[in-house]
Amino acid sequence: MSSATSDAALASYLRELIRDNAESLFGIAAGEPHVEQLALSRPHGRNDSQNRYHRTLTVRYATAGGLREKRIWLKFLKSRRVVYDIHVAAWNRTRDAGRLFPRPYFYGEWRGEAVMGMELVDGTSLRDLFLRRALVRRSGSLDAAFTALGRALRAFHDSSEASGARSTNDLAENACRLASGTAHLAPGERDRALERIRSAAVVAGGDRTQLPLIRVHHDCTLRNVLVRHDGSPCLVDLDSMPAPCKSRWYDVTVFLINLESQIKFAPLCDAETIAAAWRSFWSGYAGAGLPDGLSLEQAQAVLFLTKVEYAFEGAWLPVFEFYGGLLANRYLRRLKLSLLAGDAVGQVANQSWGSRT
């Protein structure tokens, strides 16, 4: 079948989905809008290993007020209804607390693939904005976006129902296991790291401190945050959300490590620029008080332990192996120093917690 014939068949199927989901898409009753034209972009962002790609769908439709146009972001992936259902649930819980996620519109099955239609977020990645503005020493103009991201991520975490709990003692034991077995620490460094981990475990509270296991994003990085034209952040790429529940501190740690890693672009992006961005994010996340009933000292200890676990285990690979390229070692050296020093926030953003408790 030619691509033109295949696209024509797909467009016909999408027309049905649009008709059945008109209220979600246009705010009007099902079947009411008269769709004049559908236009599909070429596939982009293709990931053959995951059988995933995106397309943009432009819909021209007629209403009583005349012709209008709407663009929809289509995601094609292996049939996983659970991804869409989790997306819908997360959006419904957070829609009034900062629009952290793109609005989901519809779900369908097309020739063995799932197709999800959602809001096309017209924005720029926070990573691109951060580096561009750091270049001209204007990264402070993004303080409001970092604060809004922290606030919206906190609302998402707070709205997620716990499926269990993990003690900080269990977290520390796994951190010790990983530090003991990693090839990225020399014997003397391993001993220092284990000492720091055990000290942090005492501060965190051991078995007395239970961290709720909740639905998290799993990949909260600068690249996955789009900043809309009104300055509000939108967290995209929700494909990992069906993964097993973790504590909220996993998302915070992933974001912190990704933010700290921008030091590899120094002097374009320096330590104080990163520290200021972290302060803004943290003020949003902890502005209403610290979660999980933790004190500031406990939160620092938990974040340090989670950082050790993520650094030596990661989502797929340890950070020391996942971060590659010529510039990566500029950050990885600092990351190791922060772990050996017992610093949650590390050498690039030290003293940046602020006064939120």
**Residue 167 and residue 115 share a domain:** no
What separation in angstroms does the CA of 315 have from each of 254, 292, 327, 337?
10, 23, 21, 22
Please give the Cα distance from 9 to 85 (Å, whole number).
26
Tell me, yes or no, whether 72 and 58 share the same domain. Answer: yes
Domain end (from 73, 88, 119):
119
**What pLDDT does 18 receive?**
93
Below-50 pLDDT ranges, the chain: 1, 347, 349-351, 355-357
Q: Which of 176, 297, 153 is nearest to 235 (CA)?
A: 153
Position 346 in a domain: no
- Buried/exposed 152-191: b ≥16 CB within 10 Å, e otherwise: bbbbbbeebeeeeebbbbebbebbbebbeebebbeeebbe
Which positions ≥6 away from 20 have C-beta within 8 Å? 30, 31, 106
pTM reported for the whole predicted model: 0.93
Same domain, 131 and 69: no
Report yes or no on 232 lying in a domain: yes
Number of residues that make up the chain: 357
Q: What share of residues in the chain are helix, strand, coil (percent, to 5)?
A: 50, 20, 30
Domain co-membership, 197 together with 305: yes
Q: What is the pLDDT of residue 173?
A: 98
Question: Considering the domain boundaries, does residue 32 fall inside one?
Answer: yes
Residue-level pLDDT at 45: 82
Which residues have a Cβ under 8 Å from the Cβ of 43 and sit 6 or more positions away? 53, 54, 55, 76
Q: Is residue 349 domain-resident?
A: no
- Claim to verify: residue 191 and residue 307 sit in the same structural domain: yes
Q: Is position 173 within any domain?
A: yes
If asked whether residues 149 and 277 sit together in one domain, one would say yes
pLDDT tens, 204-218? 999 999 999 999 999
Domain finish residue from 89, 119, 149: 119
CATH of residue 233's domain is 3.90.1200.10
Q: Are residues 115 and 150 in the same domain?
A: no
Which residues face 34 on adjacent strands? 62
- Tokens 């204007």 belong to 138
- Would you give the end-to-end CA distance of the chain in angstroms? 62
Range of the domain at 84: 3-119
User: In this structure, is residue 352 part of a structural domain?
Assistant: no
Let me know if residue 354 belongs to a domain: no
Is the same domain home to 134 and 242?
yes
The interaxial angle of helices 296-312 and 328-341, nearest 10 deg, is: 130
Query: Do both 99 and 151 map to the same domain?
Result: no
Which stretches of 286-348 are DSSP H helices? 296-312, 319-322, 328-341
Is residue 259, in this structure, part of any structural domain at all? yes
Are 155 and 92 members of one domain? no
- Alpha-carbon gap, residue 12 to 6, rounded angstroms: 10
Domains: count for the chain: 2
Shared domain check, 153 and 283 = yes
Same domain, 317 and 170: yes
Buried b / exposed e over 235-250, threshold 16 CB at 10 Å, is: bbbbbebeeebbbbbb
pLDDT given for residue 357 in this prediction: 40
Backbone angles phi, psi at 104, to 5 degrees: -80, 140
**Coil, helix or strand at residue 288:** coil
Structure tokens that stand for 336 in this block: 């190791």
> What CATH number does the domain containing 60 carry?
3.30.200
